[in-house]
Structure 1
Amino acid sequence: MRTFGKWLGRVLLALLVAAVVIGLWKREEIARLLAVNSLFSEEKIVHNFSHMDGAFLYAPVSRGDGLTSELPYGPETELPETVDNWIAARDVTSLVVLKDGAIVYENYFQGTGPEDRRISWSVAKSYLSALVGILLDEGKIASLDDQVTKYAPTLKGSAYDGASLRNVLHMASGVTFDEDYLDYDSDINRMGRVVALGGRLDDFTAELTETFTEPGSQWQYVSIDTHVIGMVVRGATGRGIPELLSEKVIAPLGLEYAPYYIVDGSSTAFVLGGLNMTTRDYARFGQMYAQGGQWNGQQVVPEAWVQASTSPTAPTADGQIGYGYQWWIPVGAADGEYMARGIYGQYIYVDTARDVVIATNAADRKFREAGVSDQNIEIFREIATSVSGGT
Structure 2
Amino acid sequence: MVHGSFLLWTMDHQLSTIPYLSNMKPKHLLSLFLLTVLPSLFVLAQQRSATYFPPAGIWEQRSPSALGLNAAVLDEAITLAKNGESKNPRSMEINHYRTFGKEPFGEGIGPFADRGEATGLIIYKGYIVAQWGEPSRCDMTHSVTKSFLSAVVGVAVDQRLIRDVKDTVAYYVPPIEWYNPKEAINRPSEDIGKPQLLFPFESAHNRTITWDDLLRQTSDWEGTLWGKPDWADRPDADANKWLNRPRNKPGTTYEYNDVRVNVLALAATSVWRKSLPQVLKQTIMDPIGASNTWRWTGYRNAWIVLDGQPVQSVSGGGHWGGGMFINAYDMGRFGWLTLNRGKWNGKQLLSEEWIRRSLTPTAAKTDYGYMNWFLNTDRKFLPSAPATAFTHVGNGNNLVYVDPEHELVAVIRWIDGKAQDSVIKKILEALPMR
Give the CA deviation at 1:232.
2.2
Q: Deviations over 1:64-104 (max 9, x none)?
A: xxx72522112143426365234323336101010000001
Alignment-mate amino acid for residue 136 of structure 1: V
Which structure 2 segments of 5+ residues have no match? Answer: 1-54, 65-70, 87-116, 175-198, 225-229, 236-242, 304-311, 380-384
Alignment-mate amino acid for residue 104 of structure 1: V
Q: Which residue of structure 1 aligns with residue 163 of structure 2?
A: 142
Q: Which residue of structure 1 aligns with residue 429 of structure 2?
A: 386
Find the partner of 1:170 among 211, 216, 229: 216
Deviates more, 1:334-343 or 1:97-106: 334-343
Taking the aligned partners of 2:369 and 2:158, their CA distance within structure 1 comes to 22
Q: Which residue of structure 2 aligns with residue 306 of structure 1?
A: 355
Are residues 138 and 259 of structure 1, via their aligned partners in 2, closer, same or farther at CA, if it must alter by over 3 Å?
same
Taking the aligned partners of 2:358 and 2:272, their CA distance within structure 1 comes to 21
Give the CA deviation at 1:212.
4.0
Q: Which residue of structure 1 aligns with residue 391 of structure 2?
A: 339
Taking the aligned partners of 1:210 and 1:239, their CA distance within structure 2 comes to 36
Taking the aligned partners of 2:157 and 2:336, their CA distance within structure 1 comes to 22
Q: Deviations over 1:224-270 (max 9, x none)?
A: 22212212211222111011011111110111342101222322212
**Identical-residue share of aligned pairs (%):** 21
Q: Deviations over 1:175-200 (max 9, x none)?
A: 4799xxxxxx982499xxxxxxxxxx
Find the partner of 1:357 among 406, 409, 415: 409
Task: Report if the CA contact (8 A) 2:335-2:402 is conserved.
Answer: yes
Find the partner of 2:325 among 261, 270, 276: 276
Taking the aligned partners of 2:404 and 2:130, their CA distance within structure 1 comes to 18
Task: Report if the CA contact (8 A) 2:391-2:399 is conserved.
Answer: yes
Taking the aligned partners of 2:173 and 2:223, their CA distance within structure 1 comes to 19
2:145 aligned with 1:124: yes
Taking the aligned partners of 1:287 and 1:103, their CA distance within structure 2 comes to 11
Give the CA deviation at 1:127.
1.0
Alignment-mate amino acid for residue 60 of structure 2: P
SS at match of 1:132: helix
Find the partner of 2:273 among 234, 238, 245: 238
SS at match of 1:227: helix
SS at match of 2:399: strand
Are residues 86 and 243 of structure 1, via their aligned partners in 2, closer, same or farther at CA, if it must alter by over 3 Å?
closer
Find the partner of 2:285 among 225, 250, 253: 250
Taking the aligned partners of 1:269 and 1:288, their CA distance within structure 2 comes to 23
Find the partner of 1:114 among 124, 132, 135: 135
Alignment-mate amino acid for residue 84 of structure 1: T
Task: Report if the CA contact (8 A) 1:69-1:253 is conserved.
Answer: no
Alignment-mate amino acid for residue 351 of structure 1: D
Taking the aligned partners of 1:95 and 1:167, their CA distance within structure 2 comes to 33
Alignment-mate amino acid for residue 85 of structure 2: R
Task: Report if the CA contact (8 A) 2:85-2:118 is conserved.
Answer: no
Taking the aligned partners of 1:314 and 1:227, their CA distance within structure 2 comes to 22
Alignment-mate amino acid for residue 128 of structure 1: L
Are residues 82 and 353 of structure 1, via their aligned partners in 2, closer, same or farther at CA, if it must alter by over 3 Å?
closer
Taking the aligned partners of 2:220 and 2:159, their CA distance within structure 1 comes to 29
Deviates more, 1:134-143 or 1:328-337: 328-337
Are residues 95 and 328 of structure 1, via their aligned partners in 2, closer, same or farther at CA, if it must alter by over 3 Å?
same
Give the CA deviation at 1:145.
1.1
2:139 aligned with 1:96: no
Alignment-mate amino acid for residue 296 of structure 1: N
2:379 aligned with 1:295: no
SS at match of 2:206: coil
Alignment-mate amino acid for residue 341 of structure 1: V
Give the CA deviation at 1:295.
1.5
What is the TM-score normalised by the length of structure 1? Answer: 0.66
Aligned-residue CA RMSD (Å) = 2.9
Give the CA deviation at 1:171.
0.9
2:420 aligned with 1:376: yes
Q: Which residue of structure 1 aligns with residue 250 of structure 2?
A: 215
Are residues 156 and 281 of structure 1, via their aligned partners in 2, closer, same or farther at CA, if it must alter by over 3 Å?
closer
SS at match of 1:253: coil
Find the partner of 1:71 among 50, 59, 62: 59
Are residues 80 and 216 of structure 1, via their aligned partners in 2, closer, same or farther at CA, if it must alter by over 3 Å?
same
Q: Which residue of structure 2 aligns with residue 156 of structure 1?
A: 201
Return the index of the structure with the highest Cα Rg. Answer: 2
Find the partner of 1:259 among 290, 294, 297: 294
Give the CA deviation at 1:337.
1.1
Task: Report if the CA contact (8 A) 2:166-2:210 is conserved.
Answer: yes
Task: Report if the CA contact (8 A) 1:286-1:350 is conserved.
Answer: yes
Taking the aligned partners of 2:77 and 2:412, their CA distance within structure 1 comes to 16
Alignment-mate amino acid for residue 270 of structure 1: S
Are residues 81 and 351 of structure 1, via their aligned partners in 2, closer, same or farther at CA, if it must alter by over 3 Å?
same
Taking the aligned partners of 1:308 and 1:360, their CA distance within structure 2 comes to 25
Are residues 152 and 211 of structure 1, via their aligned partners in 2, closer, same or farther at CA, if it must alter by over 3 Å?
farther
Are residues 271 and 162 of structure 1, via their aligned partners in 2, closer, same or farther at CA, if it must alter by over 3 Å?
same
SS at match of 1:72: coil
